[in-house]
């Protein structure tokens, strides 16, 4: 049986216009795509690219505000609740138009004299609001723990706190996005960490560590790791969210090596 891999059309195939990356992903053997930055193209362009390529959209991100440029972002920033809600409603509309399965509520930073507790309280309130806002929609909301090394001020840097919050909400429509790079960069063993969180993980993204490059360029033994995930009960797809070390088409040897599931 073949594993199901999705390509990030935000990080990958960047030598092509966004509208052409969907078809390129399909031609490369991916069975789905993920969109981290909806702002990179108008929604109608993304919808048309999905339709003409015939490849499904697995995941999209809610707007991140100024997070990528080093700012605090939106999801856990006191005073920016209205802007977060505006971006979430737009993302929910985009998810429906693109028929996406997952909508990731993105990260934020603790900055500007705001306490960590206040930031997380705002984040929790925003997520609770989002869960209620998305009630009835055919979408699963995802929260992703990050790593302290690359994003030391992240509201989402405490994996146990994120996991505990998801379990507290106890909604089938709110789950964890488990990223192998962030896990390894946080000093955790991906297999052991997955065992702790497997009851709430809905989707896994893969990238090697260090460097967030393609599988096979770093220290994560993906053949062993993916088998362990599946032995622990994971049966979903894997999102390739890495920074290609060269043209994307030249970084795909890992797909042939990892494509077959153990019988």
Q: How confident is the chain (263 residues) per 10-residue block, as mean pLDDT? A: 95 97 98 97 98 98 96 97 98 98 97 93 98 95 96 95 98 97 98 98 98 97 98 97 96 94 69
What is the pLDDT at residue 113?
87
Residue 263: predicted pLDDT: 57
Size of the chain in residues:
263
Tokens of 25: 């992903």
Give the pLDDT of residue 66: 96
pTM, entire model? 0.97
Q: Which residues pair with 59 in a beta bridge?
A: 34, 102
How high is the pLDDT of residue 241?
A: 97
Decide which of 1.10.1200.10, 3.20.20.70, 3.20.20.150, 3.40.50.2300 is the CATH code for 5-258.
Answer: 3.20.20.150
Q: Are 28 and 249 in contact (CB under 8 A)?
A: yes
| Local structure of residue 73 (DSSP, 8 states) | B
CB 1 within 8 A of CB 259: no
Domain boundaries, the chain: 5-258
**CB-CB contact of 128 with 174 (8 Å):** no
């Amino acid at each position: 049986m073949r594993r199901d891999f999705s390509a990030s059309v935000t990080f990958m195939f960047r030598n092509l216009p966004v509208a052409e990356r969907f078809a390129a992903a399909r031609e490369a053997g991916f069975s789905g795509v993920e969109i981290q930055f909806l702002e990179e193209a108008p929604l109608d362009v993304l919808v048309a690219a999905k339709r003409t390529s015939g490849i499904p959209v697995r995941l999209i991100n809610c707007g991140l505000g100024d997070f990528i440029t080093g700012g605090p972002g939106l999801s856990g920033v006191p005073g920016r609740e209205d802007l977060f809600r505006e971006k979430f409603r737009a993302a929910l509309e985009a998810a429906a138009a693109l028929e996406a399965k997952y909508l990731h509520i993105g990260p934020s930073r603790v900055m500007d004299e705001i306490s960590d507790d206040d930031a997380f309280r705002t984040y929790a309130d925003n997520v609770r609001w989002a869960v209620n806002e998305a009630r009835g929609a055919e979408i699963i909301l995802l929260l992703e723990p990050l790593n302290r090394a690359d994003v030391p001020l992240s509201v989402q840097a405490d994996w146990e706190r994120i996991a505990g919050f998801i379990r507290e909400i106890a909604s089938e429509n709110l789950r964890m996005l488990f990223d192998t790079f962030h896990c390894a960069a946080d000093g955790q063993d991906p297999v052991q960490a997955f065992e702790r969180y497997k009851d709430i993980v809905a989707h896994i993204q893969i990238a090697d560590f260090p460097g967030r490059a393609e599988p096979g360029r770093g220290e994560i033994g993906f053949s062993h790791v993916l088998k362990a995930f599946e032995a622990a009960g994971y049966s979903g797809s894997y999102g390739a969210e890495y920074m290609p070390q060269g043209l994307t088409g030249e970084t795909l040897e890992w797909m042939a090596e990892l494509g077959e599931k153990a019988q």
